[in-house]
Amino acid sequence: MKPCELCPRRCRVDRVNRFGFCKAGENLRVALVSLHEWEEPCLVGERGAGTIFFSNCNLRCVYCQNFSISHEGFGAEISIERLAEIFIEQQERGAANIELVTPTHYTDKICAAIDIAKSRGLSLPIVWNSNAYENLATLELLRGRVDIFLPDLKYFSEEPAKIFSSAPNYFAVASAAIKKMFELVGAAKFDGGQMIRGVIVRHLVLPNFRRDAMKIIDWLHETFGDKIFISLMNQYTPIYRAAEFKKISRALTTFEYDSVVEHAVNIGVKNCFVQVGKTADKSFIPNFNLHGI
């Protein structure tokens, strides 16, 4: 991290002394440790996914539902040693896996914590839940450490990536990163219905951008076929600064989401999770209360 080049922004700052784009400092910062029951079914098991929500983020999504931790940096500083202990504690609670949420800007320290925890008996699959805005060299550090990649492929077009997430060249960067993720872990593998290795690519369908979503599905299917899983989410909630941007200031319509799902079916996608019911609700946003830290 001296200078920091962990993500594609390559701010090259010394995070001991000043902040880069993500506003993360030298030390790990965590907002919540939980057993999360609302992930894809193959990730939750009987007790839930062992989520660890990290503070700060290398994107600036204006509609982020976790803005209190991603933008405002709410959380508590912890050591590498404490993170390793948290991994073991999640295993003892019966978590299906260790799910690292928005971890990119702490990659080096997380790798160290994984190594410590594995030396002490950690045997759960490690899930890397990121926004896909990743450096290939940083992802290479995860070889042999991470078992499941859970990236969110947000945009196909350049304009929404710039306006809504301050992320130029997002698709070029993210698509290369997802190819790298697949190289690292390969095709999906399961044990008793639970994923133990592989890639699940999430896409949150945005209002007025269903065509963008279809292009993302096309690329994923053409590139990986049935070797990965796709997760199409309808839970977009206009929150944080979304009201400032007309196109995304409303909820997603049933027609918009259903047309995206129908497109996936029509082109032959088989491994795809879809959401049903009313998921666009603030009640689904985690309570970031420092629990488990």
Mean per-residue pLDDT for 152-166?
A: 98
Q: How far apart, in whole angstroms, are the C-alpha atoms of residue 243 and residue 251?
A: 11
Beta strands in 167-226 (DSSP E): 189-191, 194-204
Q: How far apart, in whole angstroms, are the C-alpha atoms of residue 167 and residue 161?
A: 5
User: Does position 283 have pLDDT exceeding 80, yes or no?
Assistant: no
Nearest CA-CA partner of 218 in 201, 236, 195, 235? 201
When pLDDT is cut at 50, 70 and 90, the band that residue 244 belongs to is: very high
Q: How far apart, in whole angstroms, are the C-alpha atoms of residue 264 and residue 8?
A: 30
Mean per-residue pLDDT for 17-27?
A: 95
Mean per-residue pLDDT for 165-172?
A: 96
Mean per-residue pLDDT for 25-47?
A: 96
- Angle at which helix 80-92 crosses helix 107-119, to 10 degrees, equals 50
Query: Whole-model pTM?
Result: 0.97
Q: CATH classification of 30-284, choosing from 3.40.50.1820, 3.20.20.70, 3.90.245.10, 3.60.70.12?
A: 3.20.20.70
DSSP assignment letter at 158: H
Q: How far apart, in whole angstroms, are the C-alpha atoms of residue 29 and residue 34?
A: 15
Q: How far apart, in whole angstroms, are the C-alpha atoms of residue 100 and residue 86?
A: 11
When pLDDT is cut at 50, 70 and 90, the band that residue 76 belongs to is: very high
Q: What is the pLDDT of residue 4?
A: 96
Q: What is the pLDDT of residues 83-105, one digit of tens each?
A: 999 999 999 999 999 999 999 99
Q: What is the pLDDT of residue 280?
A: 67
Q: What is the pLDDT of residue 2?
A: 76
- Least-confidence region, from 4-13, 45-54, 208-217, 277-286: 277-286
User: Does position 110 have pLDDT exceeding 90, yes or no?
Assistant: yes
Q: How far is CA 135 from the centre of its chain?
A: 15
Phi and psi at residue 28, to the nearest 5°: -60, 145
Length of the chain: 293
Q: 242, 190 in Cβ contact below 8 A?
A: no
